[in-house]
Amino acid sequence: MPLRAVTAVRYVTPLREGGSLPAVVEGDDAGLYVMKFRGAGQGPNALIAEIIVGEIARAAGLTVPEIVLMELPVDLARTEPDPEIQDLIRASGGINVALDYLPGSTMFDPVVDRPDPAVAASIVWLDALTLNVDRTPRNPNLLMWHRRLWLIDHGAALYFHHGTADYASRARDPFPLVAEHVLLPFAAPLPSVDATLARTLTGGVLERIVADVPDAWLASDASFDSPQARRAAYVDFLRARLASPRAFVEEAERARAMHV
């Protein structure tokens, strides 16, 4: 199913964490969401990564809060007394990304929480696949909610697209930064999940996921002739990265073995 469209009707509170300056907002469906603003941090590229990586995680069977496309009326700025928030809303008018708010959730604590080894291995595999530099002990981007591990905040993944349009040149990178992954000490051997996850992420699945990214965000990179060309570049990158042998799995497994 394509991502749902929701309109923000009330800015509830800023979270004041991370480069994207997220905030809790209320939607016109009466739900609460954590919104990532197009006008903050790394701009639309971070929102593109949020959709692509979040939905890849969901397709792989991992738990991710629902992701919606949220329309932000600039009129909401009038009711906010904080000038910084006013500027952020005005800069982000139009479509943004929001994740379902998980009330009562807590940040994953590697000292207290003990995730299932297969789940931990799947998350490490996902982050190595998508070059996610931001799942470390300093910033796990994992929540515990109803005794389950939930993945949030993938804006720092696919980081290469902030600097180059030659996505294909990065497709076979091993991603040594996986050695800093917060879940490596808990993960089962990566080969135990590799084949199943790779089979799940077919070309058709990837195409459906990337199709959810709004054309306007993709058009922000003038290196591509059209949004369709950039969309195809993401799919081609991911398909090449998933082709055997997967160097990112070998790198992640070597890093995991050092924690055993």
The H-assigned helical ranges of 37-177 are 44-59, 83-91, 117-129
**pTM higher than 0.85:** yes
Average pLDDT for the chain: 93
Find, among 125, 124, 119, 150, the residue nearest to 135 by Cα: 124
Alpha helices by DSSP H, the chain: 44-59, 83-91, 117-129, 191-200, 203-211, 215-218, 227-242, 247-257
Question: What confidence score (pLDDT) does residue 160 get?
Answer: 83
Arithmetic mean of pLDDT, 26-34? 98
Q: What is the mean pLDDT of residues 127-156?
A: 95
C-alpha–C-alpha distance, residues 205 and 55, integer Å: 10
Instruction: Tell me the pLDDT tens digit for each residue of 168-181.
Output: 887 888 899 999 99
Strand partners, 142: 151
Length of the chain: 260
Write out the two tokens for 148. 């389950």
Q: Residue 259: is its pLDDT beyond 70?
A: yes
How far apart, in whole angstroms, are the C-alpha atoms of residue 46 and residue 29? Answer: 25
**Residue 16, pLDDT score:** 66
- Region 197-204: mean pLDDT is 97
Q: Dihedral of the CA atoms 46, 158, 235, 209 (nearest 10)?
A: -50
CA distance to 187, 210, 226, 253, per residue, from 222 (Å) = 40, 18, 8, 37
Average pLDDT over every residue of 207-218: 96
The structural domains of the chain, with segments of one domain joined by +, span 5-100, 106-257
Question: Does 18 score more than 70 pLDDT?
Answer: no
Is the pLDDT assigned to residue 19 strictly greater than 70? no
According to DSSP, residue 197 is labeled H
pLDDT > 70? residue 29: yes
Distance CA 59, CA 197 (A): 9
For residue 150, the model assigns a pLDDT of 98
pLDDT tens sequence across 100-141: 999 999 999 999 999 999 999 999 999 999 999 999 999 999
Q: Which residue has the higher pLDDT, 202 or 15?
A: 202
